Amino acid sequence: MLLQANKWLRQNGASTLNTQQIASRLELIDITKQYPGCLANDSINLCLQPGEIHALLGENGAGKSTLVKTIYGVVAPDKGDILWDGKEVTIKSPSTARDLGIGMVFQHFSLFETLTVSQNIELCLSQKHLANIDDLAEKIRQLSEEYGLNVDPDKYVHSLSIGERQRVEIMRCLVQSVKLLILDEPTSVLTPQEVSGLFDVLRTLSKEGCSILFISHKLHEVTEICHQATILRGGKVVNTCVPSEETPASIAKMMVGDLAEQDTQYTKKEGTHTLFSANNLSLPSKQPFGTSLKNIQFELKAGEILGIAGVAGNGQDELMAIISGEDNRTNKSSLSLDQMDIGHLHAGDRRKLGMAYVPEERLGRGAVPDMSLTENTLLTHSTGFIKNGLVQWQEAKDYASRLIKKYKVKCHGEFSEAKSLSGGNLQKFIMGREIGQNPKVLICAHPTWGVDVGAALAIHQALLDLRDQGAAILLISEDIDELFLLADRMSAICDGHLSPQVKTQDTNIDQIGQWMAGTFIDTQRELTQETQS
């Protein structure tokens, strides 16, 4: 599947850099940052030329975010020097960074939804900068034209899509005429089509001499657009390379050491009978800036994994809440489990009927941060541990320690608080807890987000095993590669609409990508109108 993604992205071809013999734009020397219990950056050296697009690669927790936050002045390093255009500088705060000409686009955007685009940009500018701009809105329109960003200064940010918001973030940097642009996993929130648009902008910037530091873990993107790459593991630089001379597989090996098994293929299966279905489900969102669901229709069969792709914020959270029963405002008949209408049931009642659920947020939803793993077992797995309203703590404790062993959860013991576990280990624990209830239907959101490769493999295997036992699994993820790897059938969600479902073998990344951008919506609407008339 990866190869397919690769081919699709290669169409634009990797650009090459004209090396210029002038002082480095940015040079990091021995940057070290210690957090309690973790050395986030360990003597990191890195060098960036003007116009260079430089990839910063590594698994989650490798120290990429800490390093770029150091460059942007959000984090103060414990040790090390930063040279900017050959001169030593101390970057005390983001405003110092911006004065130097460093701009950053965050992974979780730093935009204010209740303000307009132009107000958002104004907040980032220093008084000095503002004094040079007569009319900010006009300047935004002009730059928007120049780089094809399509940003309207008067719109409120809450009315913008994720892709548009990212362009506002980039605009923020352009207004300040940046010399170094840092992008933290910029493509993880975009549809494949939006990604190629972003790359066009980056290439233009690079040609104009702007350096770009590009954090990603999508290797095919790196090989496509980046001139140089630095690979971090455990807070250290383990390798540097020229991405165009490497393959995604060889880079992956550098990132994770020897664990890489990127080209794993699992057998696809066909479900037997329908276990769970959503029938023409429509519901306005509860949240002010949420997404309303529109005519959601799908069937989930026993013994299959149905994958739903989509860019974050297109109704996934709302759909999850309705399926799990946390939001039970729907009609009785709009959801059914085993031929029974369950739309009106509470989450607790649905669990009793054999539904289990692995949410996107592990800490703070899937597990209570300040409670022990024993208590967190009891959170959803209560059968057998409650007698006459009293908790059988000893039994719950034994069960928790069995879960820890079975799923190789790294922790001090069942008494450990959930917040003391790493993301991957907590995910294994939650996954084990939910699977341990032998669910008929498992709903699973972003199962391996932020999880290291080893844990991800274990989680994948657990899901496939559950499927093979005859459970129906609904998998919602932003990671298309993962969906293609695991799902037996695929679908995409866009603006609260759900696309048709197709067998994974019968589709490709391009089609799903277009569905993620909503191309199916019009055809669907026409179809409904036809049937009505």
Q: How far is the CB of 477 from another protein (least distance, A)?
A: 19
438 vs 428: CA distance, rounded Å: 16
61 close to 452: Cβ distance less than 8 angstroms:
yes
End-to-end CA, the chain: 41
CA-wise closest residue to 446 among 358, 377, 363, 368: 358
- DSSP 8-state code for residue 251: H
- Using CB under 8 A as the binding rule, whether residue 367 contacts another protein is answered as yes
186 close to 197: Cβ distance less than 8 angstroms:
no
294 vs 414: CA distance, rounded Å: 43
Residues contacting residue 379 through CB under 8 Å, at least 6 positions apart: 367, 368, 371, 433
179 close to 148: Cβ distance less than 8 angstroms:
no
Give me the 150-179 binding string for another protein, x by CB under 8 A, dash otherwise.
------------------------------
Angle, alpha carbons 345-349-351 (nearest 5°): 120
- DSSP 8-state code for residue 408: T
373-392 residues in contact with another protein (CB under 8 A) are 375, 378-380, 382, 386, 389-391
Of 36, 128, 339, 529, the residue at the interface with another protein (CB under 8 A) is: 36
Binding segment toward another protein, per CB under 8 A, in 188-196, 267-275, 362-370, 520-528: 362-370
- Using CB under 8 A as the binding rule, whether residue 232 contacts another protein is answered as no
Task: Read off the tokens for 312.
Answer: 């974050």
Give me the 249-288 binding string for another protein, x by CB under 8 A, dash otherwise.
-------------------------------------xxx
523 vs 46: CA distance, rounded Å: 50
Of 346, 408, 503, 525, the residue at the interface with another protein (CB under 8 A) is: 346
Give me the 291-330 binding string for another protein, x by CB under 8 A, dash otherwise.
---------------------------------xxx----
Radius of gyration of the chain (CA): 24
- Using CB under 8 A as the binding rule, whether residue 114 contacts another protein is answered as yes
Give me the 406-435 binding string for another protein, x by CB under 8 A, dash otherwise.
-----------x--x---------------
Q: How far is the CB of 413 from another protein (least distance, A)?
A: 12
Binding segment toward another protein, per CB under 8 A, in 115-123, 197-205, 306-314, 501-509: 115-123
- Using CB under 8 A as the binding rule, whether residue 109 contacts another protein is answered as yes
Of 365, 406, 408, 525, the residue at the interface with another protein (CB under 8 A) is: 365
* Structure-token match 């500088």, residue found: 89
317 close to 283: Cβ distance less than 8 angstroms:
no
* Structure-token match 């190789």, residue found: 408
* Structure-token match 């005390």, residue found: 92
Q: How far is the CB of 295 from another protein (least distance, A)?
A: 23
Residues contacting residue 278 through CB under 8 Å, at least 6 positions apart: 296, 297, 298, 323, 334, 335
63-82 residues in contact with another protein (CB under 8 A) are 65-66, 69, 73-76, 78
Q: How far is the CB of 351 from another protein (least distance, A)?
A: 5
- Using CB under 8 A as the binding rule, whether residue 123 contacts another protein is answered as yes
483 close to 477: Cβ distance less than 8 angstroms:
yes
Q: How far is the CB of 276 from another protein (least distance, A)?
A: 17
Interface with another protein (CB under 8 A)? 33, 35-37, 40, 65-66, 69, 73-76, 78, 90, 93-95, 97-98, 104, 106, 108-115, 119, 122-124, 286-288, 324-326, 346-351, 357, 359, 361, 364-371, 375, 378-380, 382, 386, 389-391, 417, 420
